Structures are given as C-alpha cells and as structure tokens.
Structure 1
Amino acid sequence: MPTKLTTRGHSRADLRGTTIVPLMTPFTASGGLDEVGVARLVEHVLAGGCEGILVAGTTGEFASMSVPMRERLFGLVMRIVNGRALVFSGIGDTSMEHSLALAAVALEAGADALVANLPSYYPLTDSMVEDYFVALAERVAAPLFIYNIPQTTRQSVPLDVIERLSRHPAIMGVKDSEPDPQRQVRLGRSFVGREDFAVFCGSVGTARVAIEAGADGYVPGVGNLLPRFVRDSLNALFEGDETERATAQRSLDEVNAVYQRGRSVTQMFAALKALLEIAGLCGRHVLPPLQAVGDEEARQLERALGDVTVKSWMQP
C-alpha cells in the first residue's frame, strides 16, 4: 500500500513516539483570549520537549469558544510555534460549515493536520458517523484525524467504522480518548503494519497498553503543566523494559489523579487550569458553563501535587 502523509510533510513513521499536548486555552477574567498566557504556555510546552500541540481541543474548551476566537487562536499559536513543533487544529463543531470555516483558517495559518470529533447534539447511527467523517474529509481535502471521545460526544466511533475511514485518502489517523483498555489494545493492533494511518492514545490511563499494542504516541492533558515529565514518560513507555514501563504508567496515573480523581471531565479542566495558575503560566479563568476552582480547592490541589514524586519535573 502506498504511504500517505499523516500530517503535511510527515509519515506515520515520523510520528512514532510523539507527544502531542492538548493545549489549554488561557482566558482573561472578562472571557477574552489571554494572548500573553497563550504565548507563555506554548513556550513552556515546547521547552519541555514535546513535539506536538493540539489547539482548540476538548482540553482547550473549544465547545465554549466562538468560531472567530478559535480562528484567532489558530493564528496566534502558529506564529508562536513558528515551525518548532507540529500543530494539530481542532475543528470539531455541531455545524459542518463551522468546521469547514475553521479548517480553512487553520490550514491557511499553517496547521499540520486537522482533528475532528463527532457533532454531539443528535444521536447518530453508525452509517451517519461514517458519512459525516467522509463528507468532512472530502471537503477539507487536508490531513484529517478522527477524534473519538464518547465522554463528551455521548457515543463512540466503532472500530470497524474507523477501519473503513482509514482507507480514505484524506483521513490520516485517530486520536482515541475512550478510557477502555480493551478497545485501545484492539485499536492499536488493528493498524500494526499500516504505514498510512497513525494511532494516538488520548486516554492517558491506558497509555501503556495502547503503546504496547501499536499506538504511535499519546495526547496527555497534564503535559500543559509537566511537559518534560510526559515527554520522558513516553520515552520510557516506548524504550523501557517491563519495570520501567510499569513505573512510567504508575507515575502518570499518580499525577493525573491530583486533578482528576473525584471530578467530572469539565471539573478536571478547571482543576488543571488552577495548577497552571499556581505554576505562573496563566490564570485559572474558564468559559461558561465551566466554573473556575476556588481559592481553597486551589490550595488543596497545590498540596496534592506537592505530595507526588514527580513534583520536581515542574518547570519555572
């Protein structure tokens, strides 16, 4: 089978072992885009050695942002990155036309690939799911990654649908955030030997099993806070022996638990952003309907992070 590009200028082999950080979006107290905070956060992620950034994904609160704000964010991040890392632009939306408008701006700004999740309002049949991604791929005519995240879209993209979509010339990979170890293993194994379709694990709790099964890398939200830690953890998951891989996964789980345990998906984002404020990277402001963490909870988060063994990985 001929090799397709999985990003503009990169094959699957080039992406093997890549850490893609789903960038949080810094906001001002009035709900505007905090451009200084964006620049500081991007530089922090790049200084930690991470090779990719996902802009306007779930962790970036894309669903609460207007189309113009997302378009502005695309251009801003591309200017800051300036070719130093791969940039994946999230174009998910309930409106196909909005996704296409976002895609056009992202590609014009220089994005390496586009990432699209399912529209999350209407319940969809498997046929609707497949037709949606095919229609989107044919209209953007650029490297497109399927994004599976049933925690927010309320339905999973079936593995057989992903396999059929992988044959489309514009669909280059998948970011799968479903926290199901068995699914991650099946997904990873399904594309072993396929050089034209990349697989990235978005569920960090299943990173070890996904990578051992054949996934190319992962997309860790905590990379916003601890980029060097997630970069080194991925190295261990790829290159370490069984003990080193187990230790890396255990450390990832320990750090993630600081802001995830006992919280819903949306509460996790607010908690992680509070940790970014504590680290001096950006404010804790979130967009409605999310709610920012209060002062006492922020202090609890800081103490909890201080108790984990990797706290020294935090960068100034």
Structure 2
Amino acid sequence: MDYRKIYNGVIVPMVTPIGSSGKIDEPAVEKIIRSFIQTRVSPFILGSTGEAPSLSVIQKRGLVEASVKAIKKQSLLFVGISGNCLSESIADGQLFAEMGADILVATPPAYYPMTNNQMIAYFSALADALPKPLILYNMPAMTKHNIPVEVVEVLSRHENIVGLKDSERDEQRLEILISKFKNRTDFVYLLGWAAMSVKALTLGASGIVPSTGNIVPVLYRELVDSLQKGDKINADRLQHLTNNISRLYQEGRVLSESIPALKALMSLKGLCGKEVVPPMYRMKEDEEQLYLKEMNATLKELNVL
C-alpha cells in the first residue's frame, strides 16, 4: 500500500471549540470541519493546538463524537492520543477508533527523559495495541525531548506505524528526514512547521500540518495545489501570505497565549468562540477588544474576512 497517496496534502491541527459551560461547542465543530471539507483538507483533533493535555476525558470523547458526526466520512480524521500513561493512550486509541477515528497520533510521554531504546519500546507497544495506524508526533517544544532520527528510522519499519508529524524547527533535521523517507511508500513525513511548507513539499514531504489552516485552509490547499502544478511563484506568494497571517497570533506569544489569540481571530470569521481551557486563559477584556478591532481591520486588508 502506498501511504503517500493516503496521508498527504493539508492536515489542519484543529482548535477545540469550547462553550461557556465548558462543554464542546458542537455547532462550531461542525462549522470548522465543513470549512475543511469544502477546501479538501483533513482535521487533526486533540493535538497541541487543540489543547488536548488540558481536556477532560468527557471533553475529549465529546470532541471525537462531534467531529465524526460532522465529517460524515468525507475526509480522514486524525485523532491525538498523546499522554504519559501507556495503558490510557491505548484505551483512548481503541475507543476513538471504535468511535470513527481513521488515524491515531501520539507524542512521546512528556515527563520522564527517555533513551532511544525506551522510546522504541514505548511506541512499539502502543502501535501493537492499536486497531488503527499510528503516526509519530515530534513536538519537543512541548514534550521537552525529541524523537531522534535513528529512532524514527527503526519505528518506520513497524507495520502499524505509518508516518511522522514533525514540528521541530530544525532545517537540517527536516532535510535529513525527508531525504530518508521521500521514496518510501510505507511511511510518510508530514511537516508541522508551517513556515517551511514550500521547502518541505518541494523536497518531497507528503503533507503539511499548519495551525493557521484553522483560519485560512483554502490558502494552504492552494499552496499545495500550486506546487503540484509546478507554479512555485504562486506557492511562494502563498507561503509569504500565510506566514504573515500566522504572525498575527503567534509573534511575541508563547503557545499558551497564541492559541487564545487564534481562537479570537477565528471568532471574527464566525467559526468558534473565544473560550479556552485552563491553564490557558483569554486575554484581558480591554486587551482582547483592542486586538479584535485591530485584527478585524488587518484581516480585511489581507482579504481573509
């Protein structure tokens, strides 16, 4: 089976819409996912952008249920099962697969340091127990350690591990990994560093995972399509434009601040509310109102609203 024909293109790490009561905002989930389907991109729920470590068991199950209902099998659904307890990640993976997840995604456990052999043993045990394919998720900014290239190589031979989503901001690593896997049909490389989308796709990456796709999925779809058509000039234009949009909520902010700002931007498009889950918090009211006023004007200038 050629996984490059299955797990490719644009996969958006979706925010988790939360209502004021703390429950999953199901109408917002449907609205966001429909915007993805209309632009031929796939959702990845329960990742870092989706505030997964902060969600309760009930919230996670509610999001999976709402997403499966909204997607109506018109796209693949990627679902995160990252955690520090192997048995709980296995249980989540089995349940979410039963509920309708197509692919499961996991980082290494985030608390204890891990040797290469420990990491190989952990992911092998996880993949062995899952009824759906597993994608490795490298996010050292959050887990505080990365998945070494040599570990990825070993795990890429596991029959139920089908790819790597890599969010490490290291150009040399990006080039090394793509060169190793671009000609493999049984393992894919997905870039989680959106600012390098054109470079990675040009080198042979199978797909990109841009958080800014929550706001402008159509621009990333056009970027991928442009490269497939050989139109690098337009792809470079779109890379520049999407990078500028990303800066609107990322620049000068750590992730726990940028996600509330991202949801605020999305609220301007009527996609979801501005609620986040502790330990994340919304901006102070006066700051938020000023930000929304400025961003409303900026997004209109960029022809995004």
Superposition TM-score tier, normalisation by shorter sequence: over 0.9
Consecutive unaligned residues of structure 1, counting only runs of 5 or more, are 5-10
Aligned to 1:52: 42
Contact 1:78–1:109, Cα closer than 8 Å, also in 2: yes
The CA distance in 2 between the partners of 1:309 and 1:184, in whole Å, is: 34
Contact 1:237–1:248, Cα closer than 8 Å, also in 2: no
Change (3 A) 1:40 1:241: closer
Aligned to 1:106: 96
Aligned to 1:244: 234
The CA distance in 2 between the partners of 1:309 and 1:203, in whole Å, is: 25
CA shift, 1:302, in A, is 4.9
The CA distance in 2 between the partners of 1:245 and 1:280, in whole Å, is: 27
Within a 5 Å distance, the mapping from 1:36-115 to structure 2 comes to 36-47=27-38, 49-115=39-105
Within a 5 Å distance, the mapping from 1:276-287 to structure 2 comes to 276-287=266-277
Secondary structure of the 1:86 match is coil
CA shift, 1:312, in A, is 2.1
Consecutive unaligned residues of structure 2, counting only runs of 5 or more, are none
Aligned to 2:222: 232
The CA distance in 2 between the partners of 1:309 and 1:178, in whole Å, is: 32
Given residue 4 of structure 2, which amino acid in structure 1 is its aligned partner? R
Change (3 A) 1:148 1:250: same
Change (3 A) 1:239 1:266: farther
The CA distance in 2 between the partners of 1:280 and 1:307, in whole Å, is: 16
Which range moves more in the overlay, 127-136 or 168-177?
Answer: 127-136
Change (3 A) 1:149 1:304: same
The percentage of counterpart residues that share the same residue type is: 34
Given residue 275 of structure 1, which amino acid in structure 2 is its aligned partner? L
The CA distance in 1 between the partners of 2:158 and 2:234, in whole Å, is: 37
Aligned to 2:262: 272
Aligned to 2:18: 27
The CA distance in 2 between the partners of 1:90 and 1:198, in whole Å, is: 17
Contact 2:182–2:189, Cα closer than 8 Å, also in 1: no
The CA distance in 2 between the partners of 1:242 and 1:79, in whole Å, is: 37
Secondary structure of the 1:145 match is strand
Contact 1:70–1:102, Cα closer than 8 Å, also in 2: no
Aligned to 2:135: 145
Change (3 A) 1:239 1:186: farther
Within a 5 Å distance, the mapping from 1:118-197 to structure 2 comes to 118-197=108-187
Aligned to 2:192: 202
Q: How does the TM-score come out when normalised to structure 1? A: 0.90
Given residue 79 of structure 1, which amino acid in structure 2 is its aligned partner? K
The CA distance in 2 between the partners of 1:245 and 1:305, in whole Å, is: 25
CA shift, 1:109, in A, is 1.7
CA shift, 1:300, in A, is 2.5
Contact 2:134–2:163, Cα closer than 8 Å, also in 1: yes
CA shift, 1:245, in A, is 3.2
The CA distance in 1 between the partners of 2:177 and 2:300, in whole Å, is: 32
Given residue 268 of structure 1, which amino acid in structure 2 is its aligned partner? S
Aligned to 2:210: 220
Secondary structure of the 2:43 match is strand
Q: How does the TM-score come out when normalised to structure 2? A: 0.93
Secondary structure of the 1:15 match is coil
Change (3 A) 1:151 1:239: farther
CA RMSD of aligned residues (A): 1.8
The CA distance in 1 between the partners of 2:63 and 2:132, in whole Å, is: 20
The CA distance in 2 between the partners of 1:310 and 1:255, in whole Å, is: 11
